[in-house]
Structure 1
């Protein structure tokens, strides 16, 4: 009986030990998944502003390690710091997220925009959507045209439109086929969610390119809204 009881106690002990080790393992894995910099950004998102001491206590790492990560995040313009005067001693340095840091966290602006456009269509009709996108087309033409003048060569014009589109986040690239023919590829579409719902967005972009580049020969060959990997245009001057 003693042997049986002893075995039961040993089994229970091993079960408890394995449970503890498993939980520790889970915590370690969760810890590894996120870098220290990610954790700092998350803490600042939740608490708005924290000191080095605050972060040291939350992250269980040294002051030196915290400062090292804060310096990197500041150089990347993801966080900022301010000095707060205290009644005694040196001013307290508090860290918080910058606008760039805030943008790292998920937003649903695209979904909201799509919803609004559907509401406008429902209330004011299909033509109201067309008017909105044509208005956007004209606004972009007015914005881009001063940078692409008539005297520019085809190569200069296409190079500048690539620069403009990259500033807007399109990840654009161009290949020269001959002196007057180019292939423009946009690997990213910043308004993809909207364009999938309202194809007129793509049509207006094509028309905008024709106007700004001063050529009617702009043909969209591939489109991300059709399931292609990128948007591709053949442009001839």
Structure 2
């Protein structure tokens, strides 16, 4: 016998919240996390789809896809995200629009918004830095994910496909609608991630531009050169040159791609 309406609504909210916290999920994944049967989860998902809270998508597959139809995942819609904590999103967008217009619009306006975005994330970075400084190098991405989660981004860190690095995933963005109109917010955030983690990073996807999760690729740290003598000095100089070049390339990449879907 089905549960009472309030109980059903409460469980339905848990399903939606799980999608928010973990990103696009299959019915099987939701059932395992919430300790429900797949049949029960599918009933709740049908209601959430009908209400426009979630939508079904084909699951993204990395590498070679096997035979058969790809699994379906369920992701929050814009309306579904609005049901959580985006009440001030429109106000933020209007404020940034005012900043851009007050600076004269055009390129000057975009530069003013970018300056604001950098100042905003710089303040966040100062709070995150202490947590990262206490973490060993192998745990810095996870420490950043925990700090982001405390600020409402529902972030996780996991190994990237082919184990070449890590993926920092933000399953929620409190300013997604604003970032859609002002990609400078995503660009500034990517730059701060790079500085905090001490390596170049690459933004692969963003909620602001239609992806289910904001995903940032963090390459695995390379072991430091050891030894002494002329060869070691040459290696150090080469490494320094490489780092400077990589840093310059990273900044350019962040400015060109952060907040936008990859081609």
Give TM-score, length-normalised by structure 2: 0.47
- Classify the secondary structure of the residue corresponding to 1:235: strand
Equivalences, count: 138
Q: Does 1:227 align with 2:210?
A: yes
Q: Deviation at 1:146?
A: 1.6
Deviation of 1:108 (Å): 3.6
Question: Is the 8 Å Cα contact of residues 114 and 188 (structure 2) preserved in structure 1?
Answer: no
Deviation at 1:176, TM superposition (A): 2.4
Please name the residue that 1:161 is paired with: 144
The change in CA–CA distance for 1:153 and 1:225 in structure 2 (over 3 A counts) is same
Partners of 1:119 and 1:188 lie apart in 2 by 26
RMSD of aligned Cα (Å): 2.9
The correspondence for 1:115, drawn from 71, 83, 94, is 94
Structure 2 distance, partners of 1:120, 1:105, is: 27
Structure 1 residues 108, 189: closer, same or farther in 2, change over 3 A? closer
TM-score, normalised via structure 1 length: 0.51
Q: 1:209 aligns with which of 165, 178, 193?
A: 193
Displacement of 1:106 after TM fit? 8.3
Give ranges in structure 1 of 5+ residues lacking alignment.
Answer: 1-31, 39-103
CA distance in 2, matches of 1:106, 1:234: 26
Using CA pairs below 8 Å that are at least 6 residues apart, which structure has the higher relative contact order?
A: 2
Instruction: Give the aligned partner of residue 193 of structure 1.
Output: 177
Write the distance in 2 (CA, Å) between the matches of 1:221 and 1:130: 20
Describe the shift of the 1:111–1:204 C-alpha distance in structure 2 as closer, same or farther (beyond 3 A).
same
**Unpaired segments of 5 or more residues in structure 2?**
11-82, 222-263
Q: Secondary structure at the match of 2:122?
A: helix
1:148 aligns with 2:132: yes
Contact 1:222 1:230 in 2 (8 A): yes
Q: Say if 1:33 and 1:120 are closer, same or farther in 2 by CA, change over 3 A.
A: farther
Change (3 A) 1:230 1:106: closer
